[in-house]
């Protein structure tokens, strides 16, 4: 809903409600039994004025609060016999229509505020995930080969072991 539509809806609703209350007040001035007494009409008109100011100020929450007060005043006036049943029904119908418009406007305003808050909040930066450090032991050095009797490729032992034998085969 665009910002230009919301106040127009409120103005329309407030106008309907004001018209109902004014019509009721004028009907109270006729010679027949009044459908709305003058004192009750004045109280209701005051509540409608509060409602209109709240709606014009783009404050649906305050307008809904004023509407609740208006509804309570209407019910109290009807209980006191200051409003006829027929007039009470017509004003109550206008109140319900205005309440529906204001509730929709409040929901749209809340959704817009929530969308703005989400848009204004920076996206959380992903934290770098580091693998836990695992200590890997260094490989043990390979054991040195043991010096056993074989050093050469001849397979007959080491030269030190053959020193006393001389060079060649034994004659003998």
CATH number of 5-120: 1.20.1440
Residues 68 and 151: their CA atoms lie apart, in Å, by 110
Phi, psi of 79 (to 5 degrees): -65, -30
Residues 6+ apart with CB under 8 A from 99: 64, 67
Q: Which pLDDT score is estimated for 124?
A: 65
Q: Which pLDDT score is estimated for 1?
A: 47
Is a pLDDT exceeding 70 seen at residue 114? yes
Residues 165 and 143: their CA atoms lie apart, in Å, by 33
- Residue 35's CB: how many other CB atoms inside 10 A? 22
The pLDDT tens digits for 136-156 are: 676 777 777 766 655 555 555
Residues 6+ apart with CB under 8 A from 120: none
pTM summary value: 0.53
Positive/negative CA dihedral, 51, 11, 6, 89 = positive
Domain ranges of the chain: 5-120
Is a pLDDT exceeding 60 seen at residue 157? no
Instruction: Tell me which of 6-10, 40-44, 77-81, 142-146 is least confident.
Output: 6-10
């Amino acid at each position: 809903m665009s910002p230009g539509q919301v106040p127009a809806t409120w103005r329309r609703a407030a106008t309907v409600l004001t018209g109902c209350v004014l019509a009721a007040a004028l009907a109270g001035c006729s010679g027949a039994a009044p459908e709305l007494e003058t004192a009750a009409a004045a109280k209701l008109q005051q509540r409608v004025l509060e409602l209109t100011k709240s709606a014009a100020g783009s404050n649906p929450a305050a307008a809904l609060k004023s509407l609740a007060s208006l509804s309570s005043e209407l019910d109290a006036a009807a209980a006191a016999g200051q409003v006829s049943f027929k007039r009470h029904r017509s004003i109550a119908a206008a109140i319900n229509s205005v309440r529906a418009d204001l509730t929709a406007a409040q929901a749209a305003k809340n959704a817009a505020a929530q969308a703005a808050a989400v848009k204004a909040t920076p996206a959380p930066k992903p934290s770098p995930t580091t693998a836990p450090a695992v200590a890997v032991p260094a490989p043990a050095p390979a054991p040195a080969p043991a010096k056993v009797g074989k050093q050469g490729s001849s397979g007959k032992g080491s030269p030190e072991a053959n020193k006393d034998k001389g060079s060649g085969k034994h004659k003998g």
